[in-house]
C-alpha cells in the first residue's frame, strides 16, 4: 500500500460532493438490502407457503432423481396448496445445482433434492463454493434403492467371478459407464475395481440415459444401473444382471445375488434421495415440509409409482437425515481416498 504524501493538496469541493453522493448511494443500497432481508424473514411462518416452491434437481430431466422429484412434486403440491416446480441444473457431479440452492433465500421456497452424490462431490471437487453439510439444513430422507451391476449381453460373464476374470484377461480394455463424474455409479465402480483389482476404466456421461444407451449398444461393457433400467433391459435380453449393490437382495429382482454373496464381503453402495434447504431456513418450515413429504410417500398411489421407479420409500426425520448425511460423508470420503477415484 502506498503511504499518504506529507503536504498532499486538500480535497476540492467537487471531490467532496462526489464522496457525499457515493456515501448516500452506499447507504441506500445497504438500506434496500436490509429491507429485502427483513421482508424475507418477517413473513409469518404460519402463512407458509404463500407462493410456488422450487425443487432444484441437480441432474438431467428423465433421470432417476428427476423422476422421483416429479412424482413427489404432484402430491406435495396438492397437500401444501401450491405449485411445485422442478428446476433441473445438471453437471459437475450435482455440484452446480447444489451451489445454486445454497445461495437461495432460506425461506422454504427453494429446496434441493440430493442423492448420495451430494456427499461424494466434496472429495472429488476440491474448491466447491459451498459446504455440503454446513450450507444446508436437512429436511428429510425420502427413498433408497440398490444399483445393479450389469454387463452388455455380449460380455462372456454370467457371474461376478466370471466378470472379474474377463477384465483381467483384457486389462485396460473393459469400460464401465456412469451418469457422470462424482456420481454414485462412478464411486460404485471405483469401489468394485478396488475390491476385485479389476483393471477397468471409468467412462462418465451426462446422465444415466446416455450411459444406458451406450451400455446397450456395447460401446461400454459394464455399469451400475437402477432397478427399472436393469429389469427393462435384462428382460429384453440387452443386458445381463450379475449382482445388486446392497446388503439384501432386491424384492424386484429376487434371483439376482448381492455383491456380498458374490464374494465381495462388505460391499455396499445403495443410493438414497432426500431434501435439503438452505442454511437458516426456519425449523418450523422444515418440520412442515418434512411432515408433508412423509404423508406423500405414505400415499398408496405414490408408493406404487415409486415402486415402478425402482425405489422404496424410507422417510426420516430431519435429525435422522442429518446423521445419515454425516455418516455417508465420512464413508464416501474414505472410499474416494482408498480407491484413488479422480475426475476424468
Q: Summarize pLDDT for 299-331 with one digit per residue, the tens.
A: 999 999 998 888 889 999 999 999 999 999 999
Task: Please identify which residue in the block is written with the cell numbers 437425515.
Answer: 321
**Predicted confidence band of residue 64 (pLDDT cuts 50, 70, 90):** confident
pLDDT confidence of residue 38: 39
Strand 222-226 and strand 312-313: pairing? unpaired
pLDDT confidence of residue 43: 66
DSSP reduced 3-state for 282: coil
Separation CA 245–CA 232 (nearest Å) = 18
pLDDT confidence of residue 343: 80
Name the H helices within the chain.
Answer: 13-42, 64-80, 95-102, 121-124, 160-169, 184-196, 208-217, 227-235, 283-298, 300-308, 318-339
Closest CA to 53 of 27, 76, 23: 76
Tally the residues of the chain: 344
pLDDT confidence of residue 263: 95
| ∠ Cα 288 281 316 (to 5°) | 45
- Minimum mean pLDDT among 130-139, 180-189, 220-229, 295-304: which range? 180-189
Domains of the chain and CATH, by start: 51-144+272-339 (3.40.190.150), 147-244 (3.40.190.10)
Per-residue pLDDT tens digits for 248-267: 999 889 999 999 999 999 99
Is the pLDDT at 153 greater than 90? The verdict is: yes
Question: What's the distance, CA 179 to chain centroid?
Answer: 11
What pTM, to 2 d.p., does this model score? Answer: 0.77
Q: 261, 174 in Cβ contact below 8 A? A: no
More confident position, 40 or 215: 215
- First CA to last CA distance, the chain: 43
Backbone angles phi, psi at 259, to 5 degrees: -65, -30
State the cell numbers at 120: 461424494
**Predicted confidence band of residue 215 (pLDDT cuts 50, 70, 90):** very high
Report the mean per-residue pLDDT for the chain.
Answer: 87
Amino acid at each position: 500500500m502506498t503511504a499518504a504524501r506529507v503536504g498532499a493538496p486538500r480535497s476540492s469541493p467537487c471531490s467532496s460532493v462526489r464522496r457525499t453522493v457515493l456515501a448516500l448511494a452506499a447507504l441506500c443500497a445497504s438500506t434496500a438490502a436490509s429491507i429485502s432481508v427483513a421482508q424475507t424473514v418477517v413473513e409469518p411462518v404460519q402463512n407458509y407457503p404463500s407462493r410456488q416452491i422450487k425443487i432444484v434437481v441437480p441432474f438431467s430431466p428423465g433421470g432417476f432423481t428427476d423422476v422421483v422429484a416429479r412424482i413427489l412434486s404432484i402430491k406435495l403440491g396438492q397437500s401444501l396448496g401450491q405449485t411445485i416446480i422442478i428446476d433441473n441444473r445438471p453437471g459437475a457431479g450435482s455440484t452446480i445445482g447444489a451451489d445454486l440452492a445454497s445461495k437461495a433465500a432460506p425461506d422454504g421456497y427453494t429446496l434441493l433434492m440430493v442423492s448420495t452424490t451430494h456427499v461424494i462431490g466434496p472429495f472429488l471437487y476440491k474448491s466447491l463454493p459451498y459446504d455440503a453439510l454446513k450450507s444446508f439444513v436437512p429436511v428429510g430422507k425420502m427413498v433408497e434403492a440398490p444399483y445393479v451391476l450389469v454387463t452388455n449381453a455380449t460380455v462372456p460373464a454370467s457371474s461376478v467371478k466370471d466378470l472379474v476374470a474377463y477384465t483381467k484377461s483384457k486389462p485396460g480394455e473393459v469400460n464401465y459407464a456412469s451418469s457422470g463424474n462424482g456420481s454414485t455409479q462412478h464411486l460404485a465402480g471405483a469401489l468394485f475395481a478396488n475390491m476385485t483389482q479389476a483393471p477397468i476404466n471409468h467412462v462418465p456421461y451426462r446422465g444415466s440415459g446416455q450411459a444406458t444407451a451406450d451400455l446397450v449398444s456395447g460401446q461400454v461393457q459394464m455399469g451400475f444401473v437402477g432397478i427399472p433400467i436393469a429389469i427393462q433391459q435384462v428382460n429384453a435380453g440387452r443386458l445381463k444382471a450379475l449382482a445388486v449393490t446392497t446388503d439384501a437382495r432386491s424384492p424386484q429382482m429376487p434371483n439376482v445375488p448381492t455383491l456380498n454373496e458374490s464374494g465381495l464381503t462388505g460391499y455396499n453402495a445403495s443410493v438414497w434421495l432426500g431434501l435439503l434447504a438452505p442454511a437458516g431456513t426456519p425449523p418450523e418450515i422444515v418440520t412442515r415440509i418434512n411432515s408433508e413429504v412423509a404423508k406423500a410417500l405414505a400415499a398408496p398411489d405414490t408408493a406404487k409409482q415409486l415402486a415402478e421407479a425402482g425405489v422404496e420409500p424410507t422417510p426420516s426425520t430431519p435429525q435422522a437425515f442429518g446423521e445419515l448425511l454425516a455418516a455417508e460423508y465420512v464413508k464416501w470420503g474414505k472410499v474416494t481416498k482408498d480407491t484413488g477415484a479422480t475426475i476424468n
